[in-house]
Structure 1
Amino acid sequence: MQEDRLTEGSLDLRRRQLLAGAAGAALMPWVPSAQAAGYELEGVELPETVTAHGQRLVLNGAGVRKRGYYKADVTALYLPEKRTTPEPIYRLNGVRRIQLNILREFTSSTISRIFIADFKQAATPEEFKRLISVVGQIGAVYANVKRVVKGDVVNLDWVPGTGWMAFHNNRPLQIEGEPISAINNELAYQIYLRMYIGEAAPEELRNALLGLTRLPRAGEA
């Protein structure tokens, strides 16, 4: 009899363990995972954090930038800390990154033309006149890209103490075959930020980069 009671007790314990395990498994899909792979937009995977120039940055937001009816790129904004309005982003210390995940092919002439038009729209007439030589320098950098295609990644970083640095598929952009380390003009980068999160930027893109619209997790249907 004692042996029977021990057997029954062991079976009862096993049943409780199985029920607890089943209950835990049923709850798992509802628990957000800190190990999630990040986000995904238009097939582009966007990590939740990146390390740039030795600093950890968080994904503030991301959205699709359009040119007419076409989707040009998935733009992502990485910052040292999340912010939901433009002014605090302009004033942030540390590295800031605008990442362009290209969705269609562009030639260097098209890239330069788009950049100059957008930059001029985001700047005041006085700022544009003051920065005309810097705009020409940036245009020369873009001219040496030749073309970008779907799947390319362009990172445009502000590094305090160094300046504005640009990379195409992790390679520094160049002028006349010489690597350009940085354009040390913070006002130019501030205006570049305005192109994406300023008043002249498309509202849908601006809200996405400011983290005001929900970004789908990687793997979501």
Structure 2
Amino acid sequence: MRFTTALIGLLAALTLQVCATAATMDINGVKVEDSAVVGGSKLQLNGAGTRYKAVFKVYVGQLYTTTKVSNLEELIAAPGPKRLSMVFLREMEAGPFGKLLTRGVEDNVPKNAMSKLVPGMIRMGDIFSANKVLEPGDVIHLDWIPNVGMVVSAKGKQQGEPFKEPEFFKAIMSIWFGESPADWKLKDAMLGK
């Protein structure tokens, strides 16, 4: 009888532990939640992974959506809010990071569409220039909220006015999910592949 009671207790404890760990995962010391709330809507983790630059771990990227997506077009078409988060693993100057984002857009958007994106790219550059340095643990959120636009938050603070143009949001998302992503492994991880 004691053995049965102990076994039931052990199984209950293991079940609770599995349920608790199912709610979050750890990637390079970053706690990745299985959901996020954006614009009043609960989003589910679509996928997460680490961005590498050469052999260096730069940040943990996380994509949250209302429905599972497996490519850029599905991401853009998905209803409701969306969130891409970056939790930095190493110190990085924000200016050069902003330039990498610009290059990522240039690598994924047709040349004839770039002129429409220039004002938004300048504003994004200003956001990163104002933040100077990204430290380990700093977080950047890129939130798409319908009827509001893309809200950029860095270090817990909203950065300027939302970017209202859906085309600009798609161009920014193409950095990670376009035909020439900055990191193929991160693309696959955030798309849950």
TM-score of the aligned structures, taking structure 1 as reference length: 0.79
Deviation at 1:113, TM superposition (A): 1.3
**What secondary structure sits across from 2:119 in the alignment?**
helix
Contact kept, 8 Å, 1:86 with 1:210, in 2: the verdict is no
Is 1:24 aligned with 2:8? yes
Give TM-score scaled by structure 2 length.
Answer: 0.90
Amino acid at match of 1:23: L
Does the CA contact (< 8 Å) of 1:152 and 1:168 recur in 2? yes
Structure 1 match to 2:176: 196
- In structure 2, the residue corresponding to 1:155 is in which secondary structure? strand
Unpaired runs of 5+ residues, structure 1, are 1-14, 174-179, 213-221
C-alpha distance in 2, partners of 1:51/1:147? Answer: 27
Once residues 45 and 35 of structure 2 are traced to their aligned partners in structure 1, the CA distance between those partners, rounded to angstroms, is 6
2:123 pairs with 1:137: yes
Tell me by how many angstroms 1:127 deviates: 1.7
1:157/1:166 contact within 8 Å kept: yes
For the residue of structure 2 that corresponds to 1:144, the secondary structure is helix
Aligned-partner residue type, residue 94 of structure 1: G
Q: Tell me, what secondary structure is at the counterpart of 1:131?
A: helix
Cα deviation digits, residues 74-115 of structure 1 (max 9, x gap): 010011122233322120111111100001112232122111
Other-structure match for 2:190 = 209
Instruction: State the AA in 2 paired with 1:194.
Output: S
Alignment of 1:71-86 (within 5 A): 71-86=57-72
The aligned counterpart of 2:78 is 92
The farther-off stretch of 65-74 and 27-36 is: 27-36
- Whichever of the two has the greater Rg, that structure is 1
After TM superposition, list the pairs within 5 Å mapping 1:1-221 onto structure 2: 15=1, 18-28=2-12, 29=14, 33-36=18-21, 37-173=23-159, 180-201=160-181, 202-212=183-193
Aligned length, in residue pairs: 190
Q: Secondary structure at the match of 2:131?
A: coil
Instruction: Give the root-mean-square deviation of aligned CA atoms.
Output: 1.8
1 CA distance for matches of 2:17 and 2:188?
Answer: 24
Alignment check: 8 A CA contact 2:38 2:145 kept: no
Q: After the TM superposition, which parts of structure 1 deviate over 6 Å for at least 4 consecutive aligned residues?
A: none
Is the contact made by 2:49 and 2:62 (CA closer than 8 Å) also made in structure 1?
yes
Shift of 1:31: 7.7
- Specify every segment of 5 or more residues in structure 2 that has no aligned partner in the other structure, as ranges: none
Separation in structure 2 between the aligned mates of residue 182 and residue 81 of structure 1, nearest angstrom:
23
State percent identity of aligned pairs.
22
Asked if 1 retains the 8 angstrom alpha-carbon contact of 2:104 and 2:174, the reply is no
